[in-house]
A and B are shown apart, each in its own frame.
Chain A
Amino acid sequence: MRESIGVPSMVLAAGYLGFGALANGNGFPLWAALLSTASIFALPGQLAMVEMSLAGTIATAIVVTVSLTAARFLPMTVTLIPVVRRPGRPAWQLYLAAHLLAMTGWAASMRRLPELQAGERLSWFVGFAVTNWVVCVLATLGGYGLADSLPTLVRQGLVFVGPLYFLLILTGETRTRQGIVALACGAVIGPLIHLVSPQWSVMLGGFIGGTFAWALARGNGRA
């Protein structure tokens, strides 16, 4: 729990401050911005939703796009849940905890949880994730309130923090060789596919890049 109050929360807060500022600047209502942080809790999807809804994109296309940017949660949940699962643990606890799963919580948990006793893992994850969730909602509120007084330069800097955060954490925290290969493949293939098909680039780039990296690491392991 203490670990989540430090750097990850401060950094997430910066990203959501940026989101709040962006929502305000685009005339997106405060209540909807707060509701999106609480119910979606995934920065890329929220940004896509705000920008597309204000551009007048039809609702079906927005929901599909947001869902596709969230497809990354499937492999994350599939890998995290077996680590926290215990016999006799009610399934609803896992389904509830899954809502709080996001990039930060997943990366930190996959690193820390295996070091903990099986019985303590779920409470560690929930403590970490709930803290971050509350911080994100408050930061959205703060960013929205601050936006009117921030100059454009500072607002651009704040929005930049979101992707920069992912760039640093992925570069610095990925330990396995397979993970590093997957990052490199995704980083190259994702933007390339985006040039052809913006709506499908996140999902297709992940499947193609990830599968390629997996096959490559597997082939190397055998040789």
Chain B
Amino acid sequence: MPDAAPVALPTLYLFLLVLACGLSTYLWRGLGVLLSGRIAADGEFFNWAGCVAYAMIAGLTMRILLLPTGTLAATPLWARMLACAVALAVYLLCRRNLFIGIATGFVALTALLAMA
């Protein structure tokens, strides 16, 4: 069962779009290299920048888990939350083994969806 009806996008448009997204992503990486030479490496600015990076990823992660779009939007919130809790518990119990944690979350969500 496809998630959506296939939409035909013009090849040249898509090619330029992907490249533009790649460039707009690189912009931040390149700017980071440029700026890093002009600011003291262990100053307060870097402390602040690290905090902003952590907060951005934490916010994005929680947003995707709580308010997903696309494929996950079709899954119930309780199943995603329960699978997260089980995965997190197993991950911490198994001495922070990332692979075991991820695999547990995958199996947990699939099983919960199958039962729901």
Contacts and interface: CB of A to CB of B under 8 A. Distances in A.
Interface string B62-103: 111111111110110000100110011001100011110110
Nearest to B4: A26
Nearest to A195: B67
A210 B11 CA distance: 40
Contact of A22 (B3, B14, B75, B114): B3
B24 to A, nearest CB: 4
Chain B contact residues, majority secondary structure: helix
Interface residues of A, number: 109
Contact of B21 (A36, A156, A169, A181): A36
B25 A158 contact: no
B102 A161 contact: yes
Contact of A67 (B28, B60, B67): B28
Chain A contact residues, majority secondary structure: helix
B54 A160 contact: no
Given A27-B2, A36-B21, A157-B106, A7 B98 contact: yes
B6 A186 contact: no
Nearest to B47: A214
Nearest to B105: A164
Chain A CB count within 10 A is highest, among B29, B83, B96, for B29
A194 to B, nearest CB: 5
A27 B4 contact: yes
A79 B46 contact: yes
Contact of A32 (B14, B41, B52): B14
Contacts of B101: 164, 168
A74 to B, nearest CB: 4
A172 B96 contact: yes
Nearest to B55: A186
A29 interface: yes
Interface of B: 1-9, 11, 13-33, 35-37, 39, 41, 44, 46-72, 74-75, 80, 83-84, 87-88, 91-92, 96-99, 101-102, 105-107, 109-110, 113-114
Given A80-B32, A106-B53, 17 more contacts: A11-B102, A27-B4, A36-B22, A39-B19, A54-B4, A70-B25, A74-B29, A77-B29, A85-B36, A153-B114, A163-B61, A164-B87, A166-B61, A182-B55, A186-B56, A195-B67, A211-B48
Q: Which 10 A-B pairs have the closest CB atoms?
A: A190-B59, A77-B32, A27-B6, A186-B55, A206-B56, A39-B22, A210-B52, A75-B49, A209-B55, A186-B58
